Amino acid sequence: MASKRHLASASAVLEEFESSDSDLESLVESSDSDSPGNLSSDSESELSDDSGPVRTWCPIDLDVDQAAPPRFPFTGAPGMKIEAECDDPLAYLKLFFTDEVIEKIVVETNRYAGQQQGAPHLRFARGRKWEPVTKDDIWLFLGLVILQGVVGKPVQKWYWSKNKIIATPFFGSVMPEYRFSLIMKYLHFANNEEFDETTHPTPKLNKIWEVSQIILQNFQQTYVPERDVSIDESLMAYKGRLSWVQYIASKRARFGVKTYMLCESSSGYIWNMVLYTGKGTQFNPRYSPYGLATS
């Protein structure tokens, strides 16, 4: 009895499909007959014409390299826009760390040190030995920081150690250790008293925003990249306390600050850069009125 019921239901379903197919065919025939200009006859004539591009068969030869797609015309003039002495590395550094950048660091460092001097200090605190920095002091400080990346030591004080085994006399001849430590302690790039979180374009980067934008502008004004550029992410090693430190296992540093960079493919010259500070990163101020996914 169950098998007879299944056979009856199956036959009913088949009859329903056949009736729906017949209705659909009649609907298509009526629409074709009612369409103006007899489109069916036109389509048949086009298909029957062997001279059309549709009927022309193009054989594919895997042994022959296919032509590359056309490139957009490149009208730029790549190269240096500012002259610099080829044999002087410091001249190239000064193209980006201009007098404006150094002056900004000097003013804000002295301002921050003055603000900290008002706080109570211990009797023998190093802060009492503070003297206002100058442009020359900042250049010497930056030079020693760069040199510390070449001559690696696990402890900063060891660079000024007089132990014959680990001594590096050059550091002491440039700047005393206490002076270097004080500049490192009070080094500043922005005025904390003028910071307003509601109006600042990137509140998380308020400490370095002004100086970083000046340096980035110098990168764009100094050099014009070639036609081929690359856009990718980069990870700068950093393991300090920061809310937007990223962990990327595939990178060499693994922990660090992620940036999106636009670079020249041949030389790797950085022409533009965006620091990633989490979900609220603002890539372009023009898109700030839009939602998070769009901006």
8 Å CB contact between 166 and 88: no
The two three-digit tokens of residue 137, written as one number: 């002091």
270 strand-pairing partners:
263
Give the C-alpha separation, 246 to 238, whole Å.
Answer: 9
Residues 7, 12, 13, CA angle at the centre, nearest 5°? 100
pLDDT confidence of residue 294: 65
Give the C-alpha separation, 219 to 76, whole Å.
Answer: 16
pLDDT confidence of residue 5: 53
Based on C-alpha coordinates, what's the Rg of the chain?
35
Give the C-alpha separation, 96 to 4, whole Å.
Answer: 89
Report the 10 Å Cβ neighbour count for 101: 19
pLDDT confidence of residue 244: 87
pLDDT confidence of residue 69: 74
Where do the domains of the chain lie?
Answer: 89-192, 225-295
Residues 147, 152, 156, CA angle at the centre, nearest 5°? 85
Strand, coil or helix: 286: helix
Show pLDDT as tens, one digit a residue, over the chain (295 residues). Answer: 445 555 555 565 446 545 544 554 554 454 444 444 444 444 444 444 555 555 677 777 777 777 777 778 888 899 999 887 778 888 899 999 999 999 999 999 999 998 887 766 655 577 778 899 999 999 999 999 999 999 999 999 999 999 999 999 999 999 999 999 999 999 999 999 888 888 888 888 999 999 999 999 999 999 999 999 999 888 999 888 888 888 888 888 889 999 999 999 999 999 999 998 887 777 777 767 777 666 6
Say if pTM beats, i.e. exceeds, 0.75.
no
pLDDT confidence of residue 262: 94
